[in-house]
Structure 1
Amino acid sequence: MAAAVPLALAVPLGVGAAPAYAADSAYVMGYFTESPSGLGDDYGLHLAVSSDGLQWMPLNQNNPVVVPTAGAAGLRDPFIMRKRDGSFVVIATDLKGTDWNRNSQYIHVWDSADLRTFTGYRLLKLHDMTTHSWAPEAFWDAGRGQYGIIYSSVNSSGHHVIMVNYTADFRTVTAPQVFFDPGYDVIDGDLAVGVNGVNYLYYKKDQALVGARSSTLAPGSFTPFSTPVAQGGTEAPTLVRSLTSGTWYLWGDTYTPNGVFYAWQSDNLAAGTWTAVDQRRYTQPLNSKHCTIATITATEYDNLAAHWGRPAWNRLKSYNYPGRYVRHSGFVGRIDPYPFDPYTDARWKLVPGLADSAGVSFQSVNYPARYLRHYSYSLRLDENDGTSAFAADATFLRTAGLADSSWSSFRSYNFPTRYIRHADNLLRIDPVATATELADATFSVGY
C-alpha cells in the first residue's frame, strides 16, 4: 500500500478514537450501489479502500460485504465510525430501493472490530413518529460523554429537519430531539466536530450543499453561513479533512445526473467557500451512492484488501473527458459519460498481449471470448479467432501517458506509429502529434 499523499482525506475531528489518528494513513469508503437502469442496484454495504483518498479500489468485486436481513432487508446511506475503543460501528438507513413513502423508525446497526467481520446486527429504533429515519450519522459528544446519532426526519410542521438521539452503546437511545431546523427542508446532515473550537454541519438544502456552524454541539445551536455548492442536483455531503495539510474536501452525490460524485476543496473551512476539484484527481467506486469515508491504518488497508480481494477487472477513464469511460456498445469501442448501463460494458481485464506478452490485450469481462482490437483503424470488440492477425490487432504496448506521464497510453503492436485515442467519442488507432491528440490518447487505468 502506498503512503498517504498531501491531498489525502480524513474523517472529521472528534469522530474517531484519538489514538487512531496518529496511525491512520489510508481510507475506507462505505456505500450502496445503483445504476441508471437498475442493473447495478444493490442495497447491501459495499466497501472500497484508498491510499490517497481520491482513487478508490472496490473490494469483494464491488459486491456487498454484509446485507441487512431485518426491516426492509436493504440499506441506503451507510455510515462508518471508529468508536472510542478503536472498533467500528456501521449504521444505515432502513430502506431498500426508492420507496420514499416507507416510514421506518429504525436504522440498521452492526459492530465490527476490523470491517472484515460484522457482529451484533440489529435494528435500532430512534422514534415513534410516523416518518422516516434517513441518512443516519454518528459523532462523539465529549461534553455529554455519549455518541450522538443525527438523521433526517419530518417535524410536526411537515418539513424535513435533522434529529438527534444520544447513546452510549448503539443499542439503546435517548428520546429524539430536533438537532437542526432552519425553518425549511434540510436532509443528509454531516458533522465536522471541534475544528479550531467550531463545529460544522453540512446538509442538503434544495439541490445544493450548505453549511452551518456552532461553538457547541447543543441541539438548535447551528446557524447557516456558507455559500451553497452543487453540480446538478446534489445531496449526501461528506466533509473530510486532509491528513497532512489544512485542506478540507466536500464530497457530494448527484441525482441529476444520477450517481456521480463531485468534490470541492477549501483551505479555510471557516470561510464557507469551495472550489471544484478536477475530476482527473478522483475516481469513485463503480455505481457507488451516498458514501461515507473513514480513516484506517496501513495494516487495516492491507488486511481488508487481502480478506475481501482486489478487483479482477479495471476501468479506463479518459484524460480530457474525465467523466467518460472506455466501453463497448454494439461491440464498438467508445467513451461514454458515467454512469451508464450495462455498466459491465466498461469492465476490462488487462491480460498479457495475445501477440506479445510484454504488451496488453483488453478482454471484455461480460464477453470474455471477445477482445478489443483494431480493424480498419477503428476499435471494436471481436471474438478471438486464434489467428496471428487477430492477436496482433488486439495487442497494445502500454506506455507513460502522452499528455500526463502518471496516466497511460497504448501503442498499437502492429502499427507502432499509432495509439489508441478517441475521436468523436469513438475509439481508433491514429498517429498522434497535437496537444489535443495526445490528450485523446491518454487514459487512467483504475477501478
Structure 2
Amino acid sequence: MFIRRALRLALSVGLCLNLSLASPLDVGELGLQAERRADTGLVGYLGAIFLGADPYVYFYLSNGNDPLSFKALNKGQPILRPTKGTGGVRDPYLVQGGGNEAGKKWYIIGTDLNIGKTSWDAAQRTGSRGIFVWDSTDLVNFGNERLVNVEDSTAGMVWAPEAIWDAAKDYAPTNIIDLDILPLDTEGKNYLRFMKDESAKTVFVEYSTTGLFGSWTRAGGSKGTIASGVEGPAAYRDNKDDAKIHVLLDFYGGDGYRPYESTDPKGNKWTASSRSGFPSNLRHGSILPINQTLYDSLSKKFGS
C-alpha cells in the first residue's frame, strides 16, 4: 500500500485498472443490514473539500450534529496547499486508519492536478500520474506530504483516489470512476458503494451483504440511478438516525455538491435534502463523522 502497506486498505482509485463488477441481481434477493451506530459519541461531521478551480484542501465542520449544515473552517482559507507536483490538489478524501491505527491516525489523499497550469487534454493523456498523501495523528495537523506516482509517463488521469479499511484483505485496485464505499457494520459484511457511470454521466448505488469482494446488487435494477449530470459521490451515515444515509453529488456543470438522503438505499429511494444550511460551490471531497474531542480540537485550531 503506498500510504502504508500495514494499513491494508482496499483502494478505489480513479484510473482504469481491472475489476469486473458482479452482474446486477434482483433487488429483492439480498437483505441489507445496517449495524446500529447512532450514539452520543458522534457529535458532528468534518468535510474535506476543494472549491471549483481553487485546487487546495478546505475543511468544513458541521454546525453541531446537523448532517446538512456546514461552516468553513480556518476563515475560509485552505488547510493544505501542496508543494509538490502541479501544486494543486483536487478530490480530497479523508481516510480513517484501521486496526492498530483506529482512532489514532488519519490520512488525506487527493488528485495531483492544478488545471490552471495545464490543460484537460494534457492532464488526461500524460498528466496526473500521482496521488497526494498527507497523514495526521489528531485529524487537525496534517503533514508528511508525499506525491506517489502510480502510473508511468505514458498515462494520465490518476484521479479521485479513495480508500477504505478492509481488516481481512490487502488493498485491491478497481476500474470504476469515482467509487465511494460506505461500510454498514464492523464485521466487513454489509456495504454500499456509490459510483459514476462516465458514459451516462449518472451516479448509482450497489450493495453487498457478503463483503467487499462478494456479490453486489444494483439498487433499482440495471438502470437504477440517483441523479444525472453528477460525479464525485461522498456518502456518510447519519449520526442520529441509524437508518438514514446521506450522499453528496457534485453537479459539476452547476453549483457543485448537493445533498441527498435515503432510509431505503436498497430500494434506491433517494430524495433531495434541504440546502438551507448547506454551503454552495463545494466540489468533489469527503465527509467523516467525528466525536466531541475531534470536533472541539478542530474548532479550537481553525475557528470559523
Matched, 1:55 2:69: yes
**Whose strand fraction is larger, Structure 1's or Structure 2's?**
1
2:32 matched residue in structure 1: none
The CA distance in 2 between the partners of 1:260 and 1:106, in whole Å, is 24
Asked if 1:225 corresponds to 2:222, the answer is no
Which one of 107, 114, 139 corresponds to residue 96 of structure 1?
114
C-alpha separation in 1, matches of 2:303 and 2:184: 36
Corresponding residue to 1:110 among 134, 143, 150? 134
2:17 match: none
Q: Distance in 1 between matches of 2:300 and 2:282?
A: 21
The answer as to whether partners of 1:42 and 1:64 remain within 8 angstroms in 2 is no
Equivalent of residue 239 in structure 1, options 235, 251, 258: 235
**Residue 303 (structure 1) shift:** 1.8
Name the structure 1 match of 2:192: 200
Give the alignment of 1:262-341 within 5 angstroms.
262-280=258-276, 282-284=277-279, 286-310=280-304
CA distance in structure 2 between the aligned counterparts of 1:96 and 1:29, rounded to whole angstroms: 21
2:158 match: 133
% identical aligned pairs: 29
Q: Secondary structure at the match of 1:64?
A: coil
Whichever residue aligns with residue 187 of structure 1, its letter is I
Q: Tell me the CA shift for residue 96 of structure 1.
A: 1.1
Letter in 2 for 1:250: V
Unaligned runs of 5+ in 2: 1-36
Q: Could you say if the C-alpha distance between residues 49 and 244 of structure 1 is closer, same or farther in structure 2, counting changes exceeding 3 Å?
A: same
| Residues 126 and 217 (structure 1), Cα distance of their counterparts in 2 relative to 1, 3 Å cut | farther
> Aligned partners of 1:222 and 1:77: how far apart in 2?
25
2:252 matched to 1:255?
yes
* Structure with more contact order per residue of length (Cα contacts < 8 Å, sep ≥ 6): 2
Instruction: Show CA shifts across 1:297-321 (max 9, x none).
Output: 22222221221122xxxxxxxxxxx
One-letter amino acid of the counterpart of residue 51, structure 2: T
Correspondence 1:24 to 2:19: no
3-state SS of 1:197 partner: coil
Kindly provide the CA deviation profile for residues 353-398 of structure 1, in whole angstroms up to 9, marking residues without a partner as x.
Answer: xxxxxxxxxxxxxxxxxxxxxxxxxxxxxxxxxxxxxxxxxxxxxx
**In 2, Cα distance between the equivalents of 1:192 and 1:223?**
14
Query: How many pairs align?
Result: 245
Query: What is the TM-score when the length of structure 1 is the normalising length?
Result: 0.51
For residues 296-347 of structure 1, the C-alpha deviation after alignment (integer angstroms, 9 at most, x for no partner) is 222222221221122xxxxxxxxxxxxxxxxxxxxxxxxxxxxxxxxxxxxx
Q: Tell me whether 264-273 or 243-252 shows the greater mean CA deviation.
A: 264-273
Q: Which residue in 2 is equivalent to 1:122?
A: 146
Write the letter of the residue equivalent to 1:193: P
Provide, for residues 223-245 of structure 1, a one-character-per-residue CA deviation record: whole Å limited to 9, x for no partner: 53342122x62111111111221
Q: Does the 8 A contact of 2:219 with 2:266 survive in 1?
A: no
Structure 1 stretches of 4+ with a deviation exceeding 6 A read none
Cα distance in 1 between the residues matched to 2:237 and 2:128? 32
State the secondary structure of the residue aligned to 1:240. strand
Match of 2:180 in 1: 190
Task: Find the counterpart in structure 2 of residue 43 from structure 1.
Answer: 55
**SS of the residue aligned with 2:115?**
coil
- For 1:31, give the aligned amino acid: I
Q: What TM-score, normalized by structure 2, do the two folds share?
A: 0.73
Note if 1:77 corresponds to 2:77.
Answer: no
Once the two structures are superposed, what CA deviation does each residue of 1:73-94 show, in whole Å capped at 9, x if it has no partner?
Answer: 1000000122122221000011
Q: Which amino acid letter does the alignment assign opposite residue 211 of structure 2?
A: T
Computed over aligned residues only, the root mean square deviation of the Cα atoms, in angstroms, reads 2.4
Any idea what SS the aligned residue of 2:212 has? coil
Q: Give 1:128-167 correspondences, 5 Å limit.
A: 128=152, 130-144=155-169, 146=170, 148=171, 164=172
Alpha-carbon shift at residue 222 of structure 1 (Å): 4.0
Q: Do 1:198 and 1:213's aligned partners in 2 also have CA atoms closer than 8 Å?
A: yes
